[in-house]
Chains A and B, each alone.
Chain A
Amino acid sequence: SAVISQKPSRDICQRGTSLTIQCQVDSQVTMMFWYRQQPGQSLTLIATANQGSEATYESGFVIDKFPISRPNLTFSTLTVSNMSPEDSSIYLCSVGTVVLQQYFGPGTRLTVT
């Protein structure tokens, strides 16, 4: 298993600003994923982050809006840029360790006013 922590756990931000969310894992993992869970909705994959390469973004998500860093095998950041109220969501990181098993962090609850 993997233990994942995220910072901050929640934040309230003003429109037009940016927030960087950190994801820390207690073991080295190859693949990390960033998801968004909008209010009352399911999880949607934003991007996959592999160490040493650029993140792969899903349709509807772009690097300018959600830049991701993956400097090593235990850490990643997701930045939500130029925020609007529509960005109010829970952002979760997850890691894949063994075959077909992902572990999720506790999430970052973001409110944009």
Chain B
Amino acid sequence: AQSVTQLGSHVSVSEGALVLLRCNYSSSVPPYLFWYVQYPNQGLQLLLKYTSAATLVKGINGFEAEFKKSETSFHLTKPSAHMSDAAEYFCAVSDMNYGGSQGNLIFGKGTKLSVKP
């Protein structure tokens, strides 16, 4: 069974500092991996996805993530945090049991990012 572990339920950084949100996955097959962001009182928005192409994936709002098979990791980074980045971030892995392109997503518990001025 696939699973996702996000290390740190809450991360706090200063504005302009590096953002690093950690995600490790468990999967018996090559995974598809995602990062979503949830702003207060809003739904989830896709930041980026890894689908077995380039291991370094660039997403929206300056975020990127690197797939490292040897470490079973897919950490999310942003070189310089902005106040508007304050939100909750979810890592997810795709469960392809539905036999096609619209597989179920299995989510980590989320990491709440705070950005200090």
A106 interface neighbour in B32, B41, B98, B108, Cβ under 8 Å: B41
Assembly CA distance A48 to B105 (angstroms): 11
Assembly CA distance A100 to B106 (angstroms): 13
Q: Is the CB of B43 within 8 A of A106?
A: yes
Assembly CA distance A43 to B90 (angstroms): 9
Q: Is the CB of A42 within 8 A of B94?
A: no
Those of B27-63 within 8 Å (CB) of chain A: 32, 34, 36, 41-46, 49, 51
Size class of the contact patch on chain B: 20 to 34
Interface status of B107 (Cβ within 8 A of chain A): yes
B43 interface neighbour in A41, A44, A101, A107, Cβ under 8 Å: A107
Query: Chain B 11-35, CB within 8 Å of chain A: the 1/0 string?
Result: 0000000000000000000001010
Assembly CA distance A44 to B3 (angstroms): 12
A44 to chain B, nearest CB (A): 8
Interface status of A21 (Cβ within 8 A of chain B): no
Residue of B nearest to A92 (CB): B43
Assembly CA distance A78 to B27 (angstroms): 30
Q: Is the CB of B49 within 8 A of A101?
A: yes
Interface status of A19 (Cβ within 8 A of chain B): no
Q: Is the CB of A92 within 8 A of B44?
A: yes
Assembly CA distance A94 to B42 (angstroms): 13
Assembly CA distance A4 to B43 (angstroms): 9
Interface centre among B32, B41, B44, B45 (most CB of A within 10 A): B44
Top 9 A-B pairs ranked by shortest CB distance? A96-B102, A104-B43, A104-B44, A99-B101, A42-B107, A106-B43, A31-B102, A43-B107, A42-B109
